[in-house]
Amino acid sequence: MSRIVLEGISKIFGSKQAEGVDLIKQGKRKAEIAAACGAVVGLCNISFDIVEGEILTLMGLSGSGKSTLLRCMNRLVEPSCGRIAVGDVDVTKLGRKDLLAFRQKTFGMVFQHFALLPNRTILSNVGFGLELKNVPVARRTEAAMQAIELVGLKGWEAKYPHELSGGMQQRAGLARALAADAEVLLMDEAFSALDPLIRRDMQSELRDLQRKLKKTIVFVSHDLDEAVALGGRIVLMKDGEVVQIGQPEEIVARPATEYVARFVEHIDRAAVMRVGQVADRSAAVLAPTLTVAEARIRIAGEGGDAWLVADDESRFVGCLRADRLAAARPEETVASLLGAGSDAVVADARLDAVLARVAAEGCVAVVDPDGRLLGAVGSRDVVRALAAHSAESHATGHDADYPETSILQTTAGAERWTGPSRNFPSTRSATKASTGSPTMALG
Amino acid sequence: MLTTALVAVPPWVFIGLAAFATYRLGGRRIGLLTLCGLLFLWNLRLWQATVETLVLVSLSTVTALVIGIPVGIWFALSRRAWRTFSPILDMMQTLPSFVYLIPALPFFGLGAVSACFATIVFSVPPVIRLTALGIRNVPSELVEASDAFGGSTTQKLFKVQLPLALPTIMAGVNQTMMLALSMVVIAAMIGAGGLGRAVWQSIQRLEAGAGFEAGIGIVILAVILDRSTQALADRARPHGTA
Same domain, A97 and A230: yes
Same domain? For A296 and A254 the reply is: no
Is the whole model's pTM more than 0.80, yes or no?
Answer: no
Mean pLDDT confidence for A263-268 = 79
Query: A132, B241: Cβ pair inside 8 Å?
Result: no
Q: Which of A71, A74, A100 to mutate to test binding with chain B, by most B CBs within 10 Å of its CB? A: A100
Q: Answer whether residue A432 is part of any domain.
A: no
Higher pLDDT pick, B129 / A406: B129
**Alpha-carbon dihedral B192, B195, B197, B201, rounded to 10 degrees:** 180
Strand partners, A363: A378
Q: How confident is the model at residue B138 (pLDDT cuts 50, 70, 90)?
A: very high
Residue B136's pLDDT is 93
Q: What is the dihedral angle through the alpha carbons of A220, A225, A231, A235, rounded to the nearest 10 degrees? A: 40
Q: What's the CA gap between A54 and A337, in Å, rounded?
A: 45
Q: What is the reported pLDDT for A339?
A: 64
Q: Which run of H or of E encompasses A141?
A: helix A137-150
Tell me the three-class secondary structure of chain B, residue by residue: CHHHHHHHCCHHHHHHHHHHHHHHHHCHHHHHHHHHHHHHHHHCCCHHHHHHHHHHHHHHHHHHHHHHHHHHHHHHHCHHHHHHHHHHHHHHHHCCHHHHHHHHHHHHCCCHHHHHHHHHHHHHHHHHHHHHHHHHCCCHHHHHHHHHCCCCHHHHHHHHHHHHHHHHHHHHHHHHHHHHHHCHHHHHCCCCCCHHHHHHHHHHHCCHHHHHHHHHHHHHHHHHHHHHHHHHHHHHCCCCCC
Chain A residues lying within 8 Å of B150, measured CB to CB:
99-105, 107, 129, 132-133
Claim to verify: residue A176 and residue A261 sit in the same structural domain: yes
The answer to whether residue A25 scores a pLDDT higher than 70 is yes
CB half-sphere exposure, A203, CA atoms < 13 A: 25
Please provide the size of chain B in residues: 242
| A357 in any annotated domain | yes
Q: How far apart are CA B125 and CA B127, in angstroms?
A: 6
Interface test with chain A among B137, B142, B144, B149, by most A beta carbons within 10 Å? B149
Helix spans in A155-195 (H)? 166-179
Output b/e per residue, A88-103; b: 16+ Cβ within 10 A.
Answer: ebebbeeeeeebbebb
A132: closest chain B residue by CA: B151
Give the torsion through C-alpha atoms of A210, A214, A220, A224, to 10 deg. 50
Here the contacts of B146-149 (C-beta below 8 Å, separation 24 or greater) are B146/A132, B147/A76, B147/A103, B148/A74, B148/A76, B148/A103, B148/A107, B148/A109, B148/A186, B149/A103, B149/A104, B149/A107, B149/A108, B149/A109, B149/A128, B149/A129, B149/A132, B149/A176, B149/A180
**End-of-domain residue from the set A233, A248, A266:** A266
Dump the DSSP string for A41-84: EEEEEEEEEE-TT-EEEEE--TTSSHHHHHHHHTTSS--SEEEE
**Cβ proximity of B225 and B179 under 8 Å:** no
* Same-domain check for residues A9 and A66: yes
Residue-level pLDDT at B128: 94
Spell out which residues of chain A touch residue B144, defining contact as CB-CB under 8 Å. 76, 111, 115
Residue A442 lies in a domain: no
What is the predicted pLDDT for the residue at A434? 40
Let me know: does B159 contact A134? Beta carbons within 8 Å. Answer: no
Looking at the complex, report in whole angstroms how far the Cα of residue A211 sits from the nearest Cα belonging to chain B: 23
Contact at 8 Å (CB) between B89 and B125?
yes
Separation between Cα atoms, residue B144 and residue B146, nearest integer Å:
5
Shared domain for A334 and A238, answered yes or no, is: no
Confidence band of A304 (pLDDT split at 50, 70, 90): low
Question: Residue B76: what pLDDT?
Answer: 92
pLDDT at B127: 93
Burial A43-66 (b: 16+ CB within 10 A, else e): bbbbeeebeebbbbbbbbeeebbb
Q: Is the same domain home to A201 and A333?
A: no
Q: Compute the average pLDDT of residues A49-70.
A: 89
Residues of B in contact with A108 (CB under 8 A): 149
The CATH number of whichever domain residue A336 belongs to comes to 3.10.580.10
Q: Is the Cβ pair B164, A117 closer than 8 Å?
A: yes
User: Which of B141, B151, B241 lies closest to A115 in CB terms?
Assistant: B141
CA angle A362, A363, A366 (to 5 degrees): 165
CB contact under 8 A, B239 and A117: no
Do A237 and A292 belong together in one domain?
Answer: no
In tens, the pLDDT along B65-93 reads 999 999 999 999 988 988 898 898 888 88
Give the separation between CA A351 and CA B108, rounded to whole angstroms.
87
CB A185 within 8 A of CB A177: yes
Nearest to B52, CA basis, from B217, B175, B227 = B217
- Which of A237, A266, A295 is where one domain is finished? A266
pLDDT tens digit sequence for A228-257: 888 889 999 988 889 899 888 888 888 888
Q: Is A16 helix (H, G, I), strand (E, B) or coil?
A: coil
Q: Which of A266, A296, A326 is the last residue of a domain?
A: A266
Residue A229 lies in a domain: yes
Under 8 Å between Cβ of A137 and B160: no
> What number is the average pLDDT over the span B89-104?
83
Question: Given its phi and psi angles, is residue A205 left (phi above 0), alpha (psi -120 to 50 degrees) or beta?
Answer: alpha
The alpha carbon of residue B19 is apart from the nearest alpha carbon of chain A, in Å, by 29
Domain check: are A250 and A165 in the same one? yes
Q: Is the pLDDT of residue A397 over 80?
A: no
Q: Is the pLDDT of residue B171 over 60?
A: yes
Rounded alpha-carbon distances, angstroms, from residue A341 to A123, A307, A347, A367 = 48, 15, 18, 16
How many domains in chain A?
A: 2
Residue A283 counted as domain residue: yes
As a whole number, mean pLDDT of residues A97-110 equals 90
**With bands split at pLDDT 50, 70 and 90, how would you rate the model's confidence at B61?**
very high
Dihedral over Cα of A76, A82, A86, A90: its sign: positive
Is A181 within 8 Å of A143 (Cβ atoms)? yes
Predicted pLDDT at B241: 52
CATH class of B46-236: mainly alpha
Q: Write the burial class of residue A106 (CB in 10 Å: 0-12 exposed, 13-18 middle, 19+ buried).
A: buried
Among B142, B149, B238, select the one facing A180 at the smallest CB separation. Answer: B149
Residue A293's CB is within 10 A of a number of other CB atoms, namely 12
Using CB atoms, pick whichever of A118, A119, A132 lies closest to residue B149: A132
A439 occurs within a structural domain: no
State how far Cα B217 lies from the chain centre. Answer: 17
Cα–Cα dist B195/B219, whole Å: 10
Neighbours of A252 (CB within 10 A): 26
Kindly report, residue by residue over A142-172, the tens digit of the pLDDT. Answer: 999 999 998 888 888 898 999 888 888 999 9
Instruction: Please tell me the predicted confidence (pLDDT) of residue A342.
Output: 63
Burial class (CB in 10 A: 0-12, 13-18, 19+), A299: middle
Better-scored residue on pLDDT, A48 or A276 = A48
A 10 A CB-CB count for A430 gives 11
Residue range(s) defining the domain that contains residue A46: 4-266
CB of A85 closer than 8 Å to CB of A91: yes
Nearest C-alpha in A relative to B145? A115
Mean pLDDT of chain A: 79
Q: Which has the closest alpha carbon to A342: A362, A319, A324, A359?
A: A319
- Residues A207 and A319 reside in one and the same domain: no
Give which of B121, B105, B102 is closest to B113, Cα–Cα: B105
